[in-house]
Chain A
């Protein structure tokens, strides 16, 4: 028989975002929280991230991924949150009806009062960046390689070329080296590394792995298994300069070319998606354009730090609880607009400007000695100096209504970055 369940809140995805959101909803007073995860265990992507560097903000220490996750998993274990593992959500409607399936119960219909989306992100593939060549075995994304090596105990290849210098790419360069594989080099199309400076030093320089900036892979050779890749320098428009093309023998091409928020379910529910983040447009409580559906973590935008993921989830969990307990009427929202040298800001709108809000934003280009500023209709609400801002590192700024001189109704908030004095 098909089952129907009606929890107060259903959280989809049990990575760090889903775990923290479920806990926050429970702490805010909800007794019936359901956490749905398609994997066999809790923690999302974290169990495979065995390197350290998680939790510097939330825990003020450098934990490994599994350690960071375990803290929340233990808390969930002690709570009365209803956890459904090995359960895949197949459908979500704007009326907040969830259809899920697992091997024990079959098809589940879940009709919660509020939904929190925490499905995380997925990796971009070679095709999304259109690398020419053959389609052999041995072309693999960084996350898949990480899973094979850290969970399944399998080594995907012995001589590896890495395209993309995002954090996962660099961390995996080190991981391959530690396993005895030869990393021929990391190639990056941009003229600066895609990930944190910390990782350039600790994962590449310390292991003498060359990083080739302004380079890309131009061809994948090998019909059955990768035999080599061609690489070339790129010009300012990222077009390869073919005269610089050279062939590098290898048996594996690993890609670390970006993450995309996983929003298939959001689209099914008709939630508005921000093209700049590829995630839902959310307000200050992380509520999406569909009432009662909240979102947090990497499904909203790819936060670089898991700590920010957790913070966004706590806001979403509390927001969902508030929605269930008190209901919510949203008025015409205040738009949050990216200003000078800002690519995008989360949240994108503010429905109730009644409390301090954390704005997470990404800059368009690196800049030194800056002031980041949040202003409302021309009035500066908060500003902060920073030595350096870079596109791979998300910036956070806080601002609240208290700073408003006369408490008037705000129509627009601008977040921008300006040269410091």
Chain B
């Protein structure tokens, strides 16, 4: 019986998905931030772009579960492609988000120096006062110079006194620090959704619930993409499949890199306590253990504060679990910075999986084995920050493969935003209720999300067909009660708007039903 239900869920999702086009100038595999950024840049030149995403929504993998930082490049090794595209991508961000109606704040980050910052074994041969003096006076300048060497501008030394004035809750043990004004914050899933919608507005097609199973290659050239819903003829494929990019490359016979999954867990705290810090704060730790950039205390653009992330190699690319050790590690590692931190205000723990290659660098460019197969892979952090530069680079490659170089005259620069109830004034709210009473019906009591916003999300350009997809677009269920209250109401609205029984509503697509059946059904089974 469960089997049957799941099948009908699958069928239902097919109905929500676009019919597969027969051909396309470019097919982008993967609807994460990288794939969607590439698709959007492409539509400036050609509308004939198709994005294929195996999940029920865009931004349903790494692009929904990361730390949402538009890094400056401070954390990347000089000379790597990552460092280059990160510094460039960061600079491009303001233009990149123009017209998308996605909130982006460039309000910088403090990198603080504490007694724990340097942990070289040989330091114990040097008198402690001297090390401390050096960390106070010289180390900030070393960091500034290090950043400048990579092309990062505007770095400033900040003295202890000023740090404590600007961040009164910071540990008094702090020695000194620097300020990096380039750091920005954005909602990664809202950005990805906006990019996808902007691409669609300009002619692209985003096919959800469509998994790529193979790439047709003839005479060393791409001819088509084979999916579980049929085949699309094309000469150009972009592999932006995140963690699965190595597998997709292998399908085309264009392999040459392996992706190993490295998960990262983050704790999220009630926005009520967001005022414990005023800026993003990261603690300098060298040498760094593992491959995390160190993380820190990161206020999200929507309010809640993030602590994390961890960095743990995992076998399973779908391993989005959080372990007890990770939770303890995060609390131990970051609460040092804010001794009075109210750690009981945690509202959520989440995990994303990074997609590094063995070389720990991005793999971007056309495959030398298969003509027309372009990789945008190895997209571990900071691929969110680098997305504009990655997209620019891939676009250049595709133009080399025959995509038009002439900007379309009919390109629409704007992806219209929708009103967000919680951010409106009373007068604006009043006006909306008068137009549509559903604006007066608050469904999510923690984040103040109205029925109108949920309906808008369900009927959006990239439609939300699951509880999680509604959550990403509207924040319903993202607050302190985590959907305990609005869950039943959101499910009912989804069922009504999609025209399905509520028992077919899912949390996150196939295999994640919220209910097993209606009342009394189980009793019938027993009889």
Contact = CB atoms under 8 A, between A and B. Distances in A.
Whether chains A and B associate is: yes
Interface of A: 1-2, 38, 86, 88, 90, 99, 101-107, 109, 122-123, 125-128, 130, 132-138, 141, 143-144, 147-149, 151-158, 179-181, 218-219, 223-225, 240, 251, 264, 267
B508 A224 contact: yes
A225 B429 contact: no
B103 interface: no
Contacts of A144: 484-485, 487-488
Contacts of A223: 318, 320
B349 interface: yes
B484 A179 contact: no
B507 interface: yes
Contacts of A218: 324
21 contacts: A38-B442, A88-B442, A101-B440, A105-B440, A106-B429, A106-B433, A123-B484, A127-B348, A132-B321, A134-B321, A135-B320, A135-B350, A137-B507, A137-B512, A144-B488, A151-B488, A153-B518, A154-B517, A154-B519, A157-B515, A251-B516
Contact of B346 (A1, A86, A130, A134): A130
B522 A107 contact: no
B514 interface: yes
B442 A155 contact: no
A232 B157 CA distance: 50
Contact of B323 (A99, A132, A251): A132
B519 A181 contact: no
B439 to A, nearest CB: 8
Nearest to A143: B484
Contact of B516 (A1, A126, A156): A156
A106 B421 CA distance: 12
B484 A153 contact: no
Interface of B: 272, 318, 320-324, 326-327, 344, 346-350, 426-427, 429-430, 433-434, 437-442, 445-446, 448, 480-482, 484-485, 487-488, 492, 502-503, 506-523, 525-526
B515 A148 contact: yes
B160 to A, nearest CB: 32
Contacts of B433: 101, 103, 106-107
Nearest to B320: A134
Nearest to B514: A137
* Residue among B327, B348, B433, B440 having the largest count of chain A Cβ atoms under 10 Å: B440
Contacts of A132: 321-324, 326-327, 349
A223 B478 CA distance: 19
A99 B484 contact: no
Contact of A179 (B326, B508, B523): B523
Contacts of B508: 137, 224
A136 B512 contact: yes
Contact of A122 (B426, B485, B503, B514): B485
B486 to A, nearest CB: 10
Contact of B488 (A102, A126, A138, A152): A152
A147 B488 contact: yes
Given A141-B484, A223-B318, 18 more contacts: A105-B440, A106-B430, A126-B482, A128-B347, A133-B322, A134-B321, A137-B508, A149-B519, A154-B502, A155-B515, A155-B518, A156-B514, A180-B523, A219-B321, A224-B511, A224-B512, A225-B513, A264-B446
Nearest to B348: A127
A305 B157 CA distance: 59
Contact of A103 (B437, B510, B514): B437
Nearest to A122: B481
A384 B434 CA distance: 59
A138 to B, nearest CB: 8
Report which residue of B348, B434, B480, B484 has the largest number of chain A beta carbons within 10 angstroms of its beta carbon.
B484
A130 B349 contact: yes
A1 B430 CA distance: 7
Contacts of A141: 484
Contacts of A105: 440
A74 to B, nearest CB: 27
Contact of A180 (B324, B484, B515, B522): B522
A328 B520 CA distance: 56
Contacts of B482: 125-127
Contacts of B487: 144
A261 to B, nearest CB: 13
A175 to B, nearest CB: 11
A107 B426 contact: yes
Contacts of B441: 86, 102-103
Contacts of A38: 442, 445
A225 B512 contact: yes
Contacts of A103: 433, 437-441
Nearest to B265: A132
B441 to A, nearest CB: 5
A283 to B, nearest CB: 25
